[in-house]
Amino acid sequence: MLHVEFHRGLKMTKRMIILIVALGLLSTELCARIPMIFLRGKQHLEDGRYSEALLVFEQSLKDPLVDERDELTIRREMANAYIGLRDWQSAERELRAVLKGARDERQKAIIEELIAIVSAPEDPSVRKINLGPAVNSQYDELAPVISPDGRTLFFIVDGQPEGFGRQDIFFSTKTERGDWTTAQNIGRPLNTEWHDGILSISPSGTSALVAGVYNRDGTKSSGFSVAQMAGGTWRFPEPLNIENYYNKNRLTSASMSQCGKFLLMALEREGGYGDLDIYVSRAIPDGRNRWSAPMNLGSDINTRGADGTPFLASDGKTLYFSSNGRVGLGSHDMYKSVRLDDSWKNWSKPVNLGKQINTPGWDAYYTIPAQGDVAYFVSSEAGGYGGSDIWMVTLPHTARPGAVVTVSGRVMEPDSTPVGATISWEKLATGANVGSVLSDDITGWYMIVLPVGEAFGYVAEKSGYLPSSAHLDLSQVEAFGEVHHDIFITPIARGAQTILKNVFFDFDKATLRPESIGELNRVRAFLEDNPSFIVEIAGHTDSIGTVDYNLRLSRDRANAVAEWLIENGIDERRLTVVGYGKSHPIADNATEEGRQENRRVIFKIIDM
């Protein structure tokens, strides 16, 4: 039986301090020329006793056997110790001394990049906080996942003897005061005797990507599954069927996009760049839970080292990941990169998140709520409660993802009965799907995260109900926001009707605009699925203009919809067209908002 586990980080005695050590830039012959006291300093450094290491290194510099090359090596190690003490000025001084004496251009470039990190000005708004004993313990806390609303934190506790297995899923919720409740074991079926972990959570908090394939006999195998929550209870996880999936590494980490269409994974596979590479898999929209074969993100992201713990932010473009194959302060630092196109191969140059966020230890597993102002992550930084703790940091603006808006509410029948429906969102300009969510069967609750700067339309659908649609214009929005939007969906019956809110016309005309095509295609599909239905398409206007003018405009607009349906295969005998003009207002015509609501096309079932 195969299983996976989550990285606990490198212990303090084994970790690399900065990348120049990992790249072998230190003299391997040094110990043959310098007294053994230098090796004692190295051990202090690797154990995190930075002040003691500095005393030893300073003593080593006084030895008459130390030549110019040896001095550079010692000063590199002194820079490491100053980084450990967060004495950035002294670290920069030692690194500049090393740079001055370096002859290899590759070494110079690496040292210059490290100097840029340690010499960068500090942002006074950045605060880093250990989440405290309600979340952290004497054991290792790993792989945090924050819900998009920032109110629930899922994570792994490694080695707690009272758990179901070696690595169990726990969760904590944030109170109104901002405190975290005492962590609770999430229990079965998500926790087993094996290594368990939540890797991503949907915007609504009712769908979770979990590590491993859960088998009904209680075993687990390599891969990923999705668990759904209904009525507050997690259901048995169902496997993701990923084409040609395999991972030669025992470690795993992954992140699913908020739209649910892309899966990022850290894997070791043939043809990769290093020990771990980050790959992407796309959902295949055939309703069979199938995913494409993993595709390597390429050399923009992956290195000859280990690149892992990917997190794709709510904007769907900003990637955070850990790496030991790039210039950094510790054994693994966190980096940020932005996807430049839809190929998933072109990325901005990864940027180290800097000295206020990364530490001389092991930093990984970044997770950021939709608001994008803070991050939660795992660090082995000194001063914690165990080997690895969960911390929170306020992010400087340069480290934040793109702005998004959360849209949430309930799906209900007109009498407020909750409905579990599928709500699909698309870009109005192109019709491109940006994600689908399921509302809760018991409460009707849903939530989705949308990027700012565009207009979106949605349709809520459920068997036995008329589709319900509307649109949300975020084209002028630039900052994070929260929108509450309830959706009403009507059971199919004779006389049932729905407003086609995503049908648009040119001003003062009956010409359908291109943004209407998605809505019209859904109406056509509904009529094809229900071939016995006879429907009325009715046009309505606001109160501006004469009675005759509005009657004609409303009838022409309803007729434009009917003609499109007929041209696309619907029998004209199933369609009745009527224009009501301004005679049936549903809102106040004294305001622009009210007049906009009154300008509408209604789809009504006449006969079944």
Rounded Cα distance, 143 and 151, in Å: 17
Residues 215-252 pLDDT 10s:
999 899 999 999 999 878 999 999 999 999 999 998 88
- The per-residue pLDDT of the chain, averaged, comes to 90
Fold of 130-399: Tachylectin-2; Chain A (2.115.10)
Fold of 32-119: 1.25.40
CATH 3.30.1330.60 domain span(s) along the chain: 493-607
Domain 493-607 has CATH 3.40.190.10: no
Cis geometry, peptide bond prior to residue 189 (ω within 30 degrees of 0): yes
Distance CA(501)–CA(469), nearest Å, equals 6
Q: Cβ contacts of residue 539 below 8 Å, gap of 6+?
A: 553, 554, 555, 556, 557, 558, 559, 578, 579, 580, 600, 601
Length of the chain: 608
Looking at residue 12, what is its pLDDT?
A: 34
Of the chain, the end-to-end C-alpha distance in Å amounts to 55
What is the reported pLDDT for 567?
96
As a whole number of angstroms, the distance between CA 460 and CA 457 comes to 10
Which residue is associated with the tokens 């009529």?
A: 527
* pLDDT the model gives residue 598: 82
Classify 457 in phi/psi space as left (phi over 0), alpha (psi -120 to 50) or beta. beta
Per-residue pLDDT for 133 more than 90?
A: yes
Q: What is the mean pLDDT of residues 377-390?
A: 85
| Residues carrying CATH 1.25.40, the chain | 32-119
Q: What is the pLDDT of residue 103?
A: 84
For the chain, how are helix, strand and coil distributed in percent, rounded to 5? 20, 35, 45
Task: Using the predicted structure, report yes or no on whether residue 13 has a pLDDT greater than 80.
Answer: no
Question: Is residue 20 over pLDDT 60?
Answer: no
Identify which of 303, 307, 278, 283 has the alpha carbon closest to the alpha carbon of residue 293. 283
CA distances from 218 to 3, 76, 250 (A): 12, 51, 20
Percent of the chain with pLDDT over 90: 74
β-pairing, 318-323 vs 307-312, is: antiparallel
Q: CATH number of 403-491: 3.90.1640.10, 2.40.50.140, 2.60.40.10, 3.20.20.210?
A: 2.60.40.10
Q: In sequence order, what are the residues at sequence separation of 6 or more whose Cβ sits closer than 8 angstroms to the Cβ of residue 28? A: none
Residue 414 has pLDDT above 50, yes or no: yes
d(CA 450, CA 404): 5
The confidence score (pLDDT) of residue 35 equals: 58
Distance CA 452, CA 373 (A): 16
> In this predicted model, what pLDDT tens digit does every residue of 518-570 receive, in sequence order?
999 999 999 999 999 999 999 998 888 899 988 999 999 999 999 999 999 99
What percentage of the chain exceeds 70 in pLDDT? 94
* Per-residue pLDDT at 26 exceeds 90: no
For the chain, the C-alpha Rg in angstroms (whole number) is 29
- In the chain, residues under CATH classification 2.60.40.10 are 403-491
Res. 19: pLDDT tops 60: no
CATH 2.115.10.20 domain range(s) in the chain = 130-399
pLDDT at 2: 38
Q: How much is the average pLDDT of 396-413?
A: 96
The answer, yes or no, to whether residue 16 has pLDDT greater than 60, is no
Question: What are 260-299's pLDDT values in tens digits?
Answer: 999 999 999 999 999 999 999 999 988 788 999 999 999 9
460-508 tens-digit pLDDT: 999 999 999 999 999 999 999 999 999 999 999 999 999 999 999 887 8
Please write the tens of the pLDDT for every residue from 297-308. 999 999 999 999
* pLDDT given at position 11: 39
pLDDT band at 9 (very low <50, low <70, confident <90, very high): low
* pTM summary value: 0.88
Nearest Cα neighbor of 247 from 277, 267, 217 is: 267
* Cβ-contact 564, 461 below 8 angstroms: no
Confidence band of 42 (pLDDT split at 50, 70, 90): confident
Q: What is the per-residue pLDDT for 379?
A: 87
Amino acid identity of residue 95, one-letter, is: L
Q: The dihedral of CA 353, 356, 357, 360: what is its sign?
A: positive
Distance CA 554, CA 542 (A): 10
Vertex 327 angle, CA 324 and 333, to 5°: 50
Instruction: Report strand pairing: 600-607 vs 497-499.
Output: antiparallel
Tokens of 583: 């005679």
pLDDT in tens, 587-604: 888 888 888 788 889 999
- State whether residue 529 is helix, strand or coil: helix
HSE-up of residue 228 (Cα within 13 Å, Cβ side): 11
Residue 381's pLDDT band (boundaries 50, 70, 90)? confident
Q: What is the 3-state secondary structure (H, E, C) of 465-513?
A: ECCEEEEEECCCCCCCEEEECCEECCECCCCCEEECCCCCECCCCCCEC
| pLDDT value at residue 584 | 87
